[in-house]
Amino acid sequence: MNVPVFSHSACLAHDTGPTHAECPARLTAVTAGLRETWPDLEWREAPRASRGQLLRVHSESLLHAVLETKPHERIWLDPDTILSPASAEAGLRAAGAVVAAVELVLNGEAKRAFCAVRPPGHHATCSAAMGFCLFNSIAVGAAHALDKFGLSRIAIADFDVHHGNGTQAIFDLEPRVVFASSHQMPLYPDSGHVSERGINNIFNAPLQPGAGSAQFRETWRTRLLPHLDAFRPQLVMISAGFDAHRRDPLAQLQLEAEDFEWITRELVAIADRHADGRIVSSLEGGYDLQGLRESVIAHVGALRG
């Protein structure tokens, strides 16, 4: 199956400094791995997200902080999140990639699309950049699907090792969106408890440090996938973080690339049953270059079928 990949060179120019885990080499590893594995892969240039698209989920104050600060050197927005001279453009392209992927899929030009972009997005809330994230790209894309295309049921699956607190906060009162997340706990950002249910549209499944393939798969099979399936989504969106891989330096789960292939196949099956196969996936975390490369290849391979 054709799975176009949206990316942009501006995402490489987001300069987080020589020791930061969320570095340009991450995206280089991803794109090189995809190009070498599938030389015929279709690549598309990510456009910029528009101000109006961002304002569907973000405040004017956040847009001002990211887009109007215009720093001459790296500055810290919080203890983890950096704004460099090129960061605003990277954030616009990352969010724009997801919007363009949504357009592509919902217009029937492709069934599935992957966004190979940085910075990641799922920690960004309505009003705050945080956790390496400037704009919440997956939320911007989901809001675009709701508002422009009139969808009434979108499922967001997040298997990043860190809880997608920003996505949850943006949609926890939105009945047209179901959010399901597995994540390590305790771990940054210290959210994602089972008790956090929104309006019965939020489903969190924390995993203890050291949890491996069996626990991950059982958790999704019994606790998360049934909720997504019952929602009968018209579009499946994936916050595709790969920092639950056993090699990752920022967490302690013990997953393999094959586990990301497995969960992707399960999400494909739900999309095939309810959404005419439509999936938009966007890169989130993953900080060991080898583990990230292998996991993204497994993920996109499962999207391609």
Give residue 110's pLDDT band: very low, low, confident or very high (50, 70, 90): very high
For the chain, give every domain's residue range.
Answer: 13-304
- Domain range 13-304, CATH class: alpha beta
Structure tokens at 230: 């019952």
What number is the average pLDDT over the span 95-114? 98
Helix intervals (H) in 5-85: 10-13, 24-37, 51-55, 60-67
Name the residues annotated as catalytic. 123
Tell me how far apart the alpha carbons of residues 265 and 280 are, in angstroms, rounded to a whole number.
14
Query: What pLDDT is stored for residue 143 in this prediction?
Result: 98
Q: What integer pLDDT is reported at residue 263 of this predicted model?
A: 99
- Report pLDDT for 16: 98
Over residues 43-47, the mean pLDDT reads: 98
Check residue 118 and give its pLDDT: 98
Our separate counts of H helices and E strands in the chain read 11, 10
What's the whole-model pTM score? 0.98
Contacts of 152 (CB under 8 A, 6+ apart): 176, 234
Range 114-126 average pLDDT: 98
User: Using 50, 70 and 90 to split pLDDT, how confident is the model at 39?
Assistant: very high
Type of residue at 117: V
Q: If we measure between CA atoms, which residue out of 164, 137, 135, 156 comes closest to residue 282?
A: 137
Over the stretch 245-272, which tens digit does the pLDDT of each residue have? 999 999 999 999 999 999 999 999 999 9
φ, ψ for residue 199 (rounded to 5)? -105, 45
* pLDDT reported for residue 2: 94
pLDDT in the model for residue 130: 98
pLDDT tens, position by position, 198-240:
999 999 999 999 999 999 999 999 999 999 999 999 999 999 9
- SS3 of residue 275 by DSSP: coil
